[in-house]
Structure 1
Amino acid sequence: MTITDTTKTVYDLLAPQLRTDLITMVREDSWPEMTDDEGERGVDQMAAFLAVAANTTEKATPSLRVDLFWHAFVLHTKPYADFCEALAGRFIHHVPDRTSGHNPIEGRNAMRRTADMICEGGFTTDPEFWPADHAADCTQSYAGCSDSPVQK
């Protein structure tokens, strides 16, 4: 299987109606000006993030915008559990951590490492969803959310 096949398979695990529901939920709850195109790209970025998070022993940290989609997906408990099982053979936990502080440098570094892991996994990172240095929204998730790394 090629990288392209793998990425397409990951994206195909999200049915069109589920994609629409996630986009609608993120738009209504947090990002009202989001376009349909941004919504589709956001769902893909979340799926790529989860695919990488499911297969690393490192802590993976989403950007703020990717985390918005992850939060919406976690609330769709059955489809989320099914996605995790199909993708990883296990549940991918969303782990809030409010004790690690809000250090912007650490946040940017954690997101940069995660974005690098996504690229190494054969996916493309979208700059609108993985902000570069000095982006205002790039540290929120580091302060509060990560995956549950695979313990090998």
Structure 2
Amino acid sequence: MTITVERPVGTTDPATLVDPEVTGRLVRRITADHPEISAATAHRIVGQAAAFVAASGRYPGQSLAPSQLVDYGWHAFILHTVDYSRFCSQTVGGFVHHVPTDEGDETPSAARATRERTLAAIRAAGFTVDEELWPDLAKCTQCHAGCTDSPKNS
């Protein structure tokens, strides 16, 4: 995969993508669902989830995947369907679907490649990556187009 950087890498704090009121709701949801996560960390998670969704929409079909921590933010966002749908429309021009992967679909080396591809896409989209929130991958992909439930195949 080749990702072209069209603007300086890491120029935008992804937390600025999400309305502060929505961010507050998402932080509360993350900390309620995962009491081991502090509000400060949950705020960072929301920002990285926003960057992941934005990059996923910008680079559809690239098999991007969130880390486990970032996936917590994505799940919280998806539960707020009106906010999530509005965010997707405003940020990438369409809905970014969440499609879990099957157990055992990726080898460790494939997971590392997916992680690197995802972080490269986020950076190429112009967002900073909070490396501490990306130690691993969750069992999901952005699957923006080409899946059975994507708009392309509906």
TM-score clears 0.5: yes
Distance 1:56 1:102 in 2: 20
| Structure 2 residue 64 is the aligned partner of structure 1 residue 69 | no
- Displacement of 1:117 after TM fit? 1.4
Distance 1:105 1:82 in 2: 35
3-state DSSP class of the match of 2:116? helix
Matched residue, 2:23:
19
Distance 1:99 1:41 in 2: 28
Q: Counterpart of 2:37 in structure 1: which amino acid?
A: M
Matched residue, 2:152:
none
Distance 1:36 1:69 in 2: 12
Matched residue, 2:151:
none
TM-score of the superposition, structure 2-length normalised?
Answer: 0.78
| Structure 2 residue 99 is the aligned partner of structure 1 residue 91 | no
Query: Alignment length, in residue pairs?
Result: 140
| Structure 2 residue 147 is the aligned partner of structure 1 residue 145 | no
Contact 1:55/1:150 (8 A) holds in 2: no
- Displacement of 1:102 after TM fit? 5.0
- Displacement of 1:66 after TM fit? 0.5
Distance 1:70 1:56 in 2: 17
Distance 1:90 1:101 in 2: 27
Distance 2:25 2:101 in 1: 27
Contact 2:101/2:140 (8 A) holds in 1: yes
1:40 to 39, 43, 52: 43
- Displacement of 1:67 after TM fit? 0.5
Matched residue, 1:51:
54
- Displacement of 1:103 after TM fit? 2.6
Structure 1: runs of 5+ lacking an equivalent: 132-137
- Displacement of 1:112 after TM fit? 1.6
Distance 1:98 1:59 in 2: 14
CA RMSD of aligned residues (A): 2.5
Structure 2: runs of 5+ lacking an equivalent: 1-6, 147-154
- Displacement of 1:86 after TM fit? 0.4
Contact 2:57/2:96 (8 A) holds in 1: yes
Distance 1:3 1:74 in 2: 29
Distance 1:21 1:49 in 2: 19
